[in-house]
Structure 1
């Protein structure tokens, strides 16, 4: 990589499509991308406040809305970077709709946008520390990942016990899909597919979640590195650094941006009292 690529981290002059750019980490990422010189197109259910080249209404819970949005956004291609990073907590919409938005709708959006992503481009998603159990549910996760996104809602309607809270299952599926789908994309089109897995982050998402999780959970949640929740902007920088073409050899990776929480819990360095059962 030419050292000159450090200017803008490879985003200067690039065409970017991002979901979730109206709030939280998505809004922070959209703003930073603009500052790095990218042309940013935002898809969201709400109109963004951050400056962008275009806004497209998209409800990830509605497959028809997703298809309408992707049909419009494919026209802005070739796309250098795709960030399908919108997401919702289960208490805001219920477990089934949470699954539809976070996994099925996000995957539908991604797959329908891929024809417009240039060969050698990059796609990056957001999973969560809530996906820490993906290996424990691997057989089930692989079964569901093998389904077309349009069949996911029906699967969980027939198997409601497997839905759990909707959120952790959706993030596990994204994690498994990243690991699996990245290989074919790499071999056939040299597209990199990665994700970050944040911990509790200081955005409106977590403010609303705290009302449901309770103060005891919030007080017990460890922040060993920063001594506090990371900001949306701090998480957005990890997303952009991972996706930068400077990381040319990285695909199929899910980067833990969680202050060491999952690894520390697995190894016993952190007590798991803050973790709710999955």
Structure 2
């Protein structure tokens, strides 16, 4: 098989970085895009085999230039994250929620548009949503709306862009830097409580989710699918 080229946008930490590393172990040339220069510098030090690029999904011209520079892309992984939009709907700040949509939903759209002219005909697009889109957890209406909008892209795009494959991966609770805003002790206590309620009795790692991302990206028979990898969070109450 000829060597494949992957682009992971939002790949300097967490699920994106774990996915980039795993794609590299599968033999792909992996490009990683992120906004933070410091994170890209860290990436260059810890993962010299990954090719880092500074690009902001809020600036489509940067994404277009990046895709032009890479050339043919076989596997596109879009891993924009964002923590805004949490809280009771009565208290949600609408300006903050709009920024959250800009950062994650519109970031996904901009990335797809930039990469599309360069995607191989047998290539794939893998989006990262979250189980909040379907889990009915109080205080997550904002997050649910954003991730639900991302998941709503999958089926129509799988048909519109065929034979390019389009899928999404929907994680639940994952121990990543997404939780860095929570005090360490509070996070540890919450994770212990949540793990006890989950059918898997554990909190996922970024590497757990990356295995599913790589499956979605590389399996030639998978398209139009949202793969839930949430430890069973959608089956129980975590509130």
With the length of structure 2 as denominator, give the TM-score of the two structures: 0.81
List runs of 5+ in structure 1 lacking aligned partners.
6-11, 135-163, 265-269
Which of 177, 193, 197 does residue 204 from structure 1 map onto?
Answer: 177
Is 31-40 or 118-127 further displaced after alignment? 31-40
Q: Which protein has the bigger strand share?
A: 2
The alpha carbon displacement at 1:242 in A equals: 2.0
Which of 19, 43, 47 does residue 29 from structure 1 map onto?
Answer: 19
* Equivalent residue, structure 2, for 1:159: none
Judged with a 3 Å threshold, the aligned counterparts in structure 2 of structure 1 residues 217 and 109 are, in CA distance, closer, same or farther, namely same
* Equivalent residue, structure 2, for 1:13: 3
Corresponding position: 1:231 with 2:233? no
Corresponding position: 1:79 with 2:73? yes
Corresponding position: 1:182 with 2:164? no
Q: Which protein has the bigger helix share?
A: 1
Distance in 1 separating the partners of 2:49 and 2:155: 31
* Equivalent residue, structure 2, for 1:59: 56
The alpha carbon displacement at 1:23 in A equals: 0.6
- Secondary structure at the aligned position of 1:208 is classed as coil
The alpha carbon displacement at 1:30 in A equals: 1.2
User: After the TM superposition, which residues 166-181 of structure 1 pair with which residues of structure 2 at under 5 Å, given as runs?
Assistant: 166-181=142-157
Check the 8 A contact 1:200/1:206 in 2, yes or no: no
Count of residues paired in the alignment: 218
With the length of structure 1 as denominator, give the TM-score of the two structures: 0.70
- Secondary structure at the aligned position of 2:174 is classed as coil
- Secondary structure at the aligned position of 1:169 is classed as helix
Corresponding position: 1:254 with 2:218? no
- Secondary structure at the aligned position of 1:248 is classed as coil
* RMSD (CA atoms): 2.6
List runs of 5+ in structure 2 lacking aligned partners.
87-94
Deviations for 1:40-90, whole angstroms, at most 9, x for unmatched residues? 111101243133453222222x2xx23222223233121110011121111
Corresponding position: 1:124 with 2:99? no
